Amino acid sequence: MLGSNTARPGLGQHAGPASQIITGKARLAGVIGWPVSHSRSPVLHNYWLRRYGVDGVYVPLPVQPGTFEVAVRGLQAAGFRGANVTIPHKEAAYRLADVLDDSALQAGAVNTLIFQDDGKIRGLSTDGDGFVASLQAEGHAIRSGTRALVLGAGGAARSVAAALLRHGMDVHVSNRTAARASELASALPALGVVAWDGWENRLGDYSLLVNTTSLGMEGGPDPMFSPSLAQAGAGLVVADIVYVPLVTPLLAQARERGLATVGGLGMLLHQARLGFTAWFGVEPQVDDATQAHVLGSLRG
């Protein structure tokens, strides 16, 4: 189901200066979330800033629920170029943005904010395409007509489901809160719904399983999330967008059963390129050096 994909062209292969350039004219961006301490986006973006010799900095921005709009307006007033948005603010970012790209409209969520020179805030969703790129980079080509089950019903789930639907997959969603799954299916009419207490028994119907929830994440609501994969077919690919820990309990169980797995690091790397280009004026390259650098921070 899931052939190799040629990497998109980037800039040169050589690393930039060893130290970061930060002057009074530095371009500023960051990642907004609650919690945000797990995010490796600062590691990734600051690596790219050093590598390409950009005068800029990217910082973690812990923002509690209920204070998102105030925080974003403050960042815009302080001269930031924009920000990434992670759990639990992606839908709030969608509501706040003045201009929504097609990616955001289809996903119903925003994970990248760009502060434009005219004062407007542009919202994008790069999660879905980043996820697809990570699958392809691992050698899993997405084929029309094959079936995928997405766990979760938040902004990331909608973005991933929308991207898989665009590639012709038959996609179902399952969520612990049934109403949320139904709402997502209403927004994406081609999407099917599977009850949370029954999805494990239906794994034999699917070629791809994707966890888009924070379950299994270090510091998340259930860091030991590891449902039974006993009913999975031998060809099932198990993906988790969580990347802290690098191997979640779900992925560990899949590996024990000999199933192909895709962790969340690739999605992080691929979804980040568009925002970096918009904020810092350089299109970065996702390559072995980039992955090795971020992996080092996860293992350190």
User: In the structure, what pLDDT confidence band is assigned to residue 299 with cuts at 50, 70 and 90?
Assistant: confident
Active site residue 90: yes
Who contacts 67 (Cβ-Cβ below 8 Å, separation ≥6)? none
Who contacts 55 (Cβ-Cβ below 8 Å, separation ≥6)? 21, 22, 23, 25, 26, 27
Structure confidence by residue, pLDDT tens digits, 172-224: 999 999 999 999 999 999 999 999 999 999 999 999 999 999 899 888 889 99
Distance CA(298)–CA(300), nearest Å, equals: 6
Closest alpha carbon to 36 in 174, 218, 208: 218
Residue 76: DSSP 8-state = H
CB of 280 within 8 A of CB of 21? no
- Taking residue 194's Cβ as centre, other Cβ atoms within 10 Å add up to 20
Q: Which of 27, 45, 89, 90 is catalytic?
A: 90
The amino acid at 299:
R
Helix, strand, coil share (%) of the chain residues, nearest 5: 35, 20, 45
B/e letters for 149-165, b = 16+ CB within 10 Å, e = fewer, are bbbbbbbbbbbbbbbbb
pLDDT of residue 25: 96
User: In the structure, what pLDDT confidence band is assigned to residue 105 with cuts at 50, 70 and 90?
Assistant: very high
What's the maximum distance between 2 C-alpha atoms anywhere in the chain? 58
B/e letters for 83-104, b = 16+ CB within 10 Å, e = fewer, are bbbbbbbbbbbbebbeebbebb
| Six token digits for residue 213 | 């929830």
User: In the structure, what pLDDT confidence band is assigned to residue 8 with cuts at 50, 70 and 90?
Assistant: very low
Helices (H), the chain: 41-51, 68-77, 90-96, 102-107, 127-137, 155-166, 178-187, 249-256, 265-271, 273-280, 288-299
The amino acid at 78:
A
Distance CA(62)–CA(127), nearest Å, equals: 20
Structure confidence by residue, pLDDT tens digits, 229-286: 999 999 999 999 998 898 999 999 999 999 999 999 999 999 999 999 999 999 999 9
Say which residue the tokens 């350190």 belong to. Answer: 300
Q: Distance of alpha carbon 72 from its chain centroid, rounded?
A: 20
pTM above 0.85, yes or no: no
In the predicted structure, residue 90 carries a pLDDT above the cut 50: yes
Range 27-52 average pLDDT? 95
Above pLDDT 90, what percent of the chain? 81
